[in-house]
């Protein structure tokens, strides 16, 4: 993927992102890590175009992520939320097929078939008629990944997909995400699971206090230069 | 499941035995035949009570929604007004509100239509409770869900049609049905302004036949006949469609 960030800043009551710039090309899977409150989720939200920066610009592959082009861009991204964020009144299958039917011009039958196919890929064939509240958190999160993939996105964004799960369910979801490696989608993800970053990412961005402090190939995880990064790594081990 | 049914049967029998004991302990005789002449009026009163309650339900859903919009308004005046009205209504007994509406507020606007004023009083009384129902139902849709709707590219119409309204209605139903039950029970108070509903008919029958005991028991049972199935229906809806 190609990612070009220029002088990006965003504030709510406080400055969350402070003048971030970054230009990388040729990586498939970018991890954003850092302590809670470092601005990584905000960064991901700006990358998705649901919110816009106060200053600066974002380019992802061939897309300028700004208000004029955002609708086209968003058709090309799949987003996996914290806490799955499935629509609670729809079955796992309908959560996917509704999107395909209403926003991607599939017929009801096509959408239904495709939804079943993706859920089966994530071993949810027995659960797909159930409501999210009637399946486990891990199953919901896997369905959410299936939902993000079903629209055949060019870029996949994952916002701490395992944040609310216990270790067993986390393992379950991370195993599911590893499948993504083989399908060759560009992926940008925020996570606290360092071992997963090592397995899955080919580029790592470490953030602190709204800034990118260090970035590079996953090897930087083993020998962090920045003090804060080193401290972070000792804590998460 | 079997023990559950058994436990319920036992509980119902306990209450029935208690009720039988109460009836047997009365000094006066117990003769339902005394009320036989009033059967037609009772049926009419029964259906009137339901009709009044449905009108109040619909009215309070509308007024409650208007108050919800006031509460969420950007204009401080409307929020304050909703707040003041809510506090006054919460602090007023329904009985008092009905009497004031029928005999004080109504005439001030030149109307002596006590049915309309009584129903209006009940509508106003229930409106803040309905406002709360709306608040809870609408706030149950999280920010993250709105974000998902936007990211997946739903149009405004699609958002409401497939995602927002179906969820709000599901959330709305059980508490709304509970409020309906409150309305039905509250409708007994319309008898103080002599509206033709169950309690009123019973009072008329009692004054003619002196069948006080029988009257009160029939009165009680008639309300249960409406409210018990309603609460079962509410529970069913909650189980079937709850989120």
> How far apart, in whole angstroms, are the C-alpha atoms of residue A230 and residue A72?
40
Mean pLDDT (whole number) for B95-113: 94
DSSP letter, residue A192:
S
Euclidean distance between the first and the last CA atom of chain A, given in angstroms as a whole number: 29
Strand order of the β-sheet with A186-190 is: A77-80, A155-159, A186-190, A29-33, A203-208, A211-216
Contact A79 B151 (CB under 8 A): yes
Residue A170: per-residue pLDDT: 85
Mean pLDDT (whole number) for B74-93: 95
Distance from CA of B101 to the nearest CA of A (A): 42
Q: What are the E-state strand segments in A12-96?
A: 15-25, 29-33, 55-60, 63-64, 77-80
Contact B153 A50 (CB under 8 A): no
For the segment B189-235, what is each residue's pLDDT rounded down to a tens digit?
998 888 888 999 999 999 999 888 889 988 999 999 999 999 998 88
Which member of A48, A71, A131 has the closest CB to residue B153? A71
Measured between beta carbons, the chain A residues lying within 8 angstroms of B139 are none
A130: number of Cβ within 10 Å? 16
Which member of B153, B167, B241 has the closest CB to residue A74? B153
Contact A85 B144 (CB under 8 A): yes
Q: What is B156-220 written as a DSSP string?
A: HHHIIIIIIHHHHHHHHHHHHHHHHHHHHHHGGGGGGGT-SSHHHHHHHHHHHH--HHHHHHHHH
Locate the chain B residue with the closest alpha carbon to A86.
Answer: B145
Whether residue B143 has pLDDT greater than 60: yes
Query: Residue A219 class from Cβ within 10 Å (0-12 exposed, 13-18 middle, 19+ buried)?
Result: exposed
> How far apart, in whole angstroms, are the C-alpha atoms of residue A163 and residue A93?
23
Contact B170 A89 (CB under 8 A): yes
Distance from CA of B142 to the nearest CA of A (A): 9
| Beta pairing partners, A78 | A156
Chain A with chain B: Cβ pairs closer than 8 A: 48
A108 touches chain B (CB under 8 A): no
Distance from CA of B234 to the nearest CA of A (A): 18
Locate the chain A residue with the closest alpha carbon to B159.
Answer: A102
Residue A180: per-residue pLDDT: 79
Residue B180: per-residue pLDDT: 94
Contact B148 A102 (CB under 8 A): no
For the segment A38-68, what is each residue's pLDDT rounded down to a tens digit?
999 999 999 999 999 999 999 999 899 888 8
Series of mean pLDDT values for 10-residue runs along chain A (237 residues): 93 89 93 91 92 92 87 91 91 96 94 95 93 92 93 92 83 82 87 87 93 93 91 86
Which of residues 160 through 189 in chain B touch A, CB cutoff 8 A? 162-163, 166-167, 170
Task: Confirm whether the ipTM is greater than 0.85.
Answer: yes
Residue B33: per-residue pLDDT: 85
Residue A36: per-residue pLDDT: 87
Sign of CA dihedral A220, A196, A36, A190: positive
Whether residue B241 has pLDDT greater than 80: no
B158 touches chain A (CB under 8 A): yes
A75 touches chain B (CB under 8 A): yes
Contact A81 B148 (CB under 8 A): yes
B144 touches chain A (CB under 8 A): yes
Residue B242: per-residue pLDDT: 63
Residue A166: per-residue pLDDT: 83
Measured between beta carbons, the chain A residues lying within 8 angstroms of B243 are 88-89, 131, 133
Distance from CA of B140 to the nearest CA of A (A): 10
Three-class DSSP category at A150: helix
Q: What percent of chain B has a predicted confidence (pLDDT) above 70?
A: 99
Contact A50 B163 (CB under 8 A): no
B51 touches chain A (CB under 8 A): no
B210 touches chain A (CB under 8 A): no
CA atoms within 13 A on the CB side of A105: 1
Contact B151 A98 (CB under 8 A): no
Residue A178: per-residue pLDDT: 80
Which member of A74, A98, A131 has the closest CB to residue B162? A98
> How far apart, in whole angstroms, are the C-alpha atoms of residue B183 and residue A199?
61
Distance, C-alpha A231 to centroid of its chain: 25
Contact B150 A75 (CB under 8 A): no
């Amino acid at each position: 993927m190609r990612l070009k960030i220029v002088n990006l800043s965003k504030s709510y009551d406080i400055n969350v992102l402070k003048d971030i710039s970054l230009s990388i090309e040729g990586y498939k899977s970018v991890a954003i890590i850092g302590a809670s409150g470092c601005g990584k989720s905000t960064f991901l939200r700006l990358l998705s175009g649901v919110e816009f920066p106060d200053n600066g610009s974002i380019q992802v592959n061939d897309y300028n992520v700004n208000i004029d082009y955002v609708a086209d861009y968003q058709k090309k991204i799949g987003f996996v939320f914290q806490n799955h964020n499935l629509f609670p009144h729809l079955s796992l299958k309908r959560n996917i097929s509704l999107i395909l039917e209403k926003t991607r011009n599939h017929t009801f039958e096509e959408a239904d078939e495709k939804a079943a196919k993706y859920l089966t890929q994530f071993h949810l064939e027995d659960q797909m008629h159930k409501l999210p509240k009637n399946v486990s958190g891990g199953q919901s999160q896997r369905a959410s990944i299936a939902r993000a993939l079903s629209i055949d996105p060019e870029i996949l964004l994952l916002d701490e997909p395992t944040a609310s799960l216990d270790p067993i369910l986390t393992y379950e979801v991370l195993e599911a995400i590893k499948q993504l490696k083989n399908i060759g989608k560009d992926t940008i993800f925020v996570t606290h699971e360092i071992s997963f970053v090592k397995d899955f990412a080919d580029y790592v961005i470490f953030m602190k206090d709204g800034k990118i402090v260090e970035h590079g190939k996953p090897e930087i995880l083993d020998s962090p230069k920045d003090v804060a990064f080193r401290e972070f790594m000792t804590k998460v081990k | 499941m079997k023990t559950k049914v058994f436990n319920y049967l036992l509980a119902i029998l306990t209450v029935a035995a208690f009720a039988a004991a109460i009836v047997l302990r009365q000094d006066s005789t117990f003769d339902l035949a005394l009320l036989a002449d009033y059967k037609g009026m009772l049926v009419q009163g029964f259906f009137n009570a339901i009709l009044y309650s449905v009108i109040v339900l619909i009215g309070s859903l509308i007024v409650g929604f208007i108050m919800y919009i006031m509460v969420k308004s950007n204009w401080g005046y409307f929020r304050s007004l909703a707040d003041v009205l809510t506090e006054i209504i919460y602090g007023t007994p329904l009985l008092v509100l009905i009497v004031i509406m029928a005999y004080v507020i109504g005439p001030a606007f030149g109307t002596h239509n006590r049915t309309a004023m009584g129903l209006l009083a009940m509508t106003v009384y229930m409106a803040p409770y309905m406002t709360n129902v709306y608040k809870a139902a609408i706030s149950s849709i999280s920010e993250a869900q709105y974000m998902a709707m936007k990211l997946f590219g739903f149009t405004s119409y699609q958002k409401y049609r497939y995602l927002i309204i179906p969820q709000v209605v599901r959330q709305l139903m059980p508490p709304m049905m509970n409020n309906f039950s409150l309305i039905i029970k509250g409708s007994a108070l319309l008898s103080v302004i002599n509206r033709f509903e169950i309690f009123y008919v019973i009072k008329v029958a009692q004054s003619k036949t002196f069948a006080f005991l029988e009257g009160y028991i029939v009165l009680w049972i008639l309300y249960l006949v409406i409210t018990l199935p309603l609460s079962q229906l509410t529970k069913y809806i909650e189980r079937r469609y709850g989120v």
